[in-house]
Amino acid sequence: MPTNSSCHAPARIQLEPPKPFHFRTPDDWPRWKKRFELFRQASGLSTDVPVKQVNTLLYCIGEEAETVLTSTNTTDVERENYDIIEKFDSHFKVRKNVIFERAVFNRRSQLEGETADQYIMELYRLAESCHYIDAIKIRDRLVVGIRDVALSQQLQLDAELTLDKAIKKIQQKEAVAEQQNVLKGGAAGDMGEVHGRQCFPKRQKKTGKTQST
């Protein structure tokens, strides 16, 4: 019995492509590029002809992609090769000020209302942006940047403190604080209920007896 070869072809996954790149934030290019590469692999685009990959890349980047290619004198032959993405690597690398990025990282402290996880993720993002791959630098910035001064001092006294250990202690301290707030809120509600009962005592039932004359 003949078989249909199309039945054995890998199914294409319909995925949403990354949103257009914002050229006003060139430091976000590495993250956008990584996101597009995930889309390229997961959607099956990487198995298509190079021209289609290039066109999809330019379409996803946005209208300003053509401006970059024009400024770099990209030829028609180069437009047929996916290596064209390196043109954008060079373009955004020139515009990046690593010294400034590192200054931003070294001054970044936990903001009011910012959770520990949010602060940690932001430090990782900034570290990647300024090419800080050393975990010690992230650990040091994390320890001195958290809003909990007492915990910061405690962590600084730990001579064997690692980044993973610091993250775990900070997350645990925040979790305990959140639990305490929940308990305090419940206790306040219970006290309010008690006060309410005291302010409105039950009335005494009247007896059926009448005063004799």
pLDDT at 212 over 50: no
Task: Name which of 8-12, 133-137, 178-182 the model is least confident about.
Answer: 8-12
Q: What is the pLDDT of residue 200?
A: 47
Q: What is the pLDDT of residue 129?
A: 78
The pTM of this model reads 0.52
Task: Name which of 41-55, 172-186, 199-213 the model is least confident about.
Answer: 199-213
Three-class DSSP category at 170: helix
Q: How deeply is 199 buried, as exposed, middle or buried, from its count of CB atoms within 10 A (0-12, 13-18, 19+)?
A: exposed
Q: How deeply is 141 buried, as exposed, middle or buried, from its count of CB atoms within 10 A (0-12, 13-18, 19+)?
A: buried
Q: Which long-range contacts (CB under 8 A, 24 or more apart) does 113-118 make?
A: 115/174, 116/146, 116/167, 116/170, 116/171, 116/174, 117/171
pLDDT at 8 over 80: no
Please compute the mean of the pLDDT values over residues 135-146 and round it to a whole number. 96
Q: Please, what is the Cα angle at 103 between 102 and 105, to 5 degrees?
A: 60
The first and second tokens of residue 134, run together, are 């050393």
Beta strands in the chain (DSSP E): none
pLDDT tens-digit map of 64-75: 999 999 988 899
Confidence at 194, pLDDT banded by 50, 70, 90:
very low
Backbone angles phi, psi at 98, to 5 degrees: -65, -40
Q: Residue 80 and residue 84: Cα distance in Å, rounded?
A: 8
